[in-house]
């Protein structure tokens, strides 16, 4: 009998298993695929970032090296090698998780996990053989899968999801992306940088619509420069694939129809929780109408010894959110009182410029009727950004009008994915904009833009604009 069985080895599941083992619990993890790491390591965060880095090198070599005084001849893309390197990066990471399981003495059961009852999980291997394992507690961390629309036939050849987009055999001539959210824009960027024309169709009136509106507007300007075209406020009504051609039809908000032809269409309209075959009902676990495992504030399901974390429960579908929840459940199981501040889980888009945010958006503050002040600083005024020729974007700080407490930080610019950590720390300690504005930031760094935006928010006293 295990103390804990974790079903699913994504960032939620494997981190939960490690923390459980650290806390002295006899732990098992069940994973249906031969490699550990889940969506994030195999077909998500890590491979997409590997391709984003490679394509960015190519884009810089073909677009900015000359200005830097570096001349290249015979520049070309070897997509096969790019994908091979990406696969190597994935392997290093998934092997790393295997090592961590061993190091922490966690039993790895490779096979499909399904509930027999509230304490028994059947693990079925590909060859059909099955073993039952027992656990006092069970953590469901089965993650998510790409969503689609009922009329779209995903043939995974020309009409693809993010998973296939990470393994294309050729650079699309014209990639049509359905959905202007994070995944569509990141993978669209990969192929736009490699020379594809990329058309994005988005139902809402802005890209990355859940983020602060300023971010979507700025990102749209930057992506246009690398060959993106956008159809905002367009609703896709049909997707057809014939031979090497795909046709996407979409209606705009005035009822006019556009027809876009390309050679690949990437469907990236979001992800849905994955519980297929889990047989949760055998344990009596409730699933919501949206397909999520229902949990309370302790991430506990309606069955007291069964917990659920990550993409399969409510909240942002992010690897680091899943990880925090994994640690939270492990610590709850040994009687600790952990806490997650969901408002301070940062969100990042790894386009170039990168977008990163934490806390409330301006739209949310308006909706709450909260009085706030805004400080902005453009990267165009940053010496570091000028030196690296990365002057697109800005930092926007929202602070309480009376107390000066930072309520939201929204950044678009170079390396903001890393810079946002400073804002998270500041906000966890409930810093005021002036607190950050009075701290020394190394010169020249991109981080000075955050300090300057805080100065601007404090009382409009940015120094370099």
Ligand X SMILES: Cc1cc2nc3c(=O)[nH]c(=O)nc-3n(C[C@H](O)[C@H](O)[C@H](O)COP(=O)(O)OP(=O)(O)OC[C@H]3O[C@@H](n4cnc5c(N)ncnc54)[C@H](O)[C@@H]3O)c2cc1C
- Which residues here bind ligand X, judged by CB under 6 A? 7-13, 30-33, 38-40, 44-45, 48, 112-113, 141-144, 162, 183, 274, 277-278, 310-311, 317-320, 322, 350
Identify the three-state secondary structure at position 228. Answer: strand
Q: How far is the CB of 336 from ligand X (least distance, A)?
A: 21
- Rounded Cα gap, residues 213 and 232, in angstroms: 14
Q: How far is the CB of 452 from ligand X (least distance, A)?
A: 27
Q: How far is the CB of 401 from ligand X (least distance, A)?
A: 32
Residues 6+ apart with CB under 8 A from 436: 406, 422, 426, 450, 451, 454
**381 contacts 455 by C-beta, under 8 angstroms:** no
**58 contacts 65 by C-beta, under 8 angstroms:** no
**120 contacts 285 by C-beta, under 8 angstroms:** no
Cβ nearer to ligand X, comparing 223 with 308: 308
- DSSP state for residue 283 in the 8-state scheme: H
Q: How far is the CB of 278 from ligand X (least distance, A)?
A: 5
Residues serving a catalytic function are: 443
Q: How far is the CB of 93 from ligand X (least distance, A)?
A: 12
- Rounded Cα gap, residues 294 and 350, in angstroms: 31
Nearest alpha-carbon partner for 90 in 146, 40, 144, 145 = 40
Angle, CA 162 vertex, CA 159 and CA 165 arms, to 5°:
70
- DSSP state for residue 189 in the 8-state scheme: H
Cβ nearer to ligand X, comparing 165 with 454: 165
Cβ nearer to ligand X, comparing 113 with 172: 113
Sign of CA dihedral 174, 177, 180, 186: negative
Cβ nearer to ligand X, comparing 311 with 404: 311
- Cα-Cα-Cα-Cα torsion 283, 289, 293, 295, nearest 10 degrees, comes to -100
Q: How far is the CB of 229 from ligand X (least distance, A)?
A: 22
- Rounded Cα gap, residues 453 and 356, in angstroms: 15
Cβ nearer to ligand X, comparing 210 with 252: 210
- Rounded Cα gap, residues 264 and 262, in angstroms: 6
**313 contacts 292 by C-beta, under 8 angstroms:** yes
- Rounded Cα gap, residues 458 and 465, in angstroms: 15
Cβ nearer to ligand X, comparing 10 with 378: 10
């Amino acid at each position: 009998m295990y103390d804990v069985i974790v079903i699913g080895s994504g960032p939620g599941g494997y981190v939960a298993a490690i923390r459980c083992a650290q806390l002295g619990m006899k732990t098992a993890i069940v994973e249906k695929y031969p490699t550990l790491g889940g969506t994030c390591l195999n077909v998500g965060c890590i491979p997409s970032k590997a391709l984003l880095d490679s394509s960015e090198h190519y884009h810089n070599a073909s677009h900015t090296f000359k200005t830097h005084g570096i001349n290249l001849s015979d520049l070309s893309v070897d997509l096969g090698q790019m994908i091979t390197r990406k696969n190597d990066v994935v392997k290093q990471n998934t092997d790393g998780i295997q090592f961590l399981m061993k190091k922490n003495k966690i039993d790895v059961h490779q096979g499909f996990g399904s509930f027999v009852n509230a304490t028994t999980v059947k693990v079925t291997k590909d060859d059909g053989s099955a073993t039952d394992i027992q656990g006092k507690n069970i953590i469901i961390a089965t993650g998510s899968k790409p969503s689609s629309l009922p009329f779209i036939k995903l043939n995974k050849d020309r009409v693809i999801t993010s998973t296939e987009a990470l393994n294309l055999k050729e650079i699309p001539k014209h990639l049509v992306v359905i959905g202007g959210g994070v995944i569509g824009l990141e993978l669209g960027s990969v192929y736009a940088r490699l020379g594809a024309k990329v058309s994005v169709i988005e139902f809402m009136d802005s890209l990355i619509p859940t983020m602060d509106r300023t971010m979507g507007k700025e990102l749209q300007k930057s992506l246009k420069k690398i060959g993106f075209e956008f159809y905002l406020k367009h609703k896709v009504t049909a997707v057809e694939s014939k031979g090497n051609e795909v046709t996407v039809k979409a209606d705009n908000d005035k009822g006019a129809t556009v027809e876009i032809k390309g050679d690949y269409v990437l469907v990236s309209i979001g992800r849905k929780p994955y519980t297929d075959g889990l047989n949760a009902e055998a344990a009596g676990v409730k699933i919501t109408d949206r397909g999520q495992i229902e949990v309370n504030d302790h991430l506990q399901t309606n069955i007291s010894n069964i917990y659920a974390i990550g993409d399969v429960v409510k909240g942002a579908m992010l690897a680091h959110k899943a990880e925090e929840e994994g640690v939270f459940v492990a610590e709850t199981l040994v009687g600790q009182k952990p806490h997650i501040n969901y408002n301070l889980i940062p969100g990042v888009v790894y386009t170039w410029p990168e977008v990163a945010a934490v806390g409330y958006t301006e739209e949310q503050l308006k909706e709450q009727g909260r009085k706030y002040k805004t400080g902005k600083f453009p990267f165009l005024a940053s010496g570091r950004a000028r030196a690296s020729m990365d002057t697109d974007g800005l930092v926007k700080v929202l602070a309480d009008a009376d107390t000066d407490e930072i309520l939201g930080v929204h950044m678009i610019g170079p390396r903001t994915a890393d810079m946002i950590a400073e804002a998270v720390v500041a906000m966890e300690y409930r810093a005021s904009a002036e607190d950050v504005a009075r701290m020394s930031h190394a010169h020249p760094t991109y981080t000075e833009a955050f300090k300057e935006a805080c100065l601007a928010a404090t009382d409009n006293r940015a120094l370099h604009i």
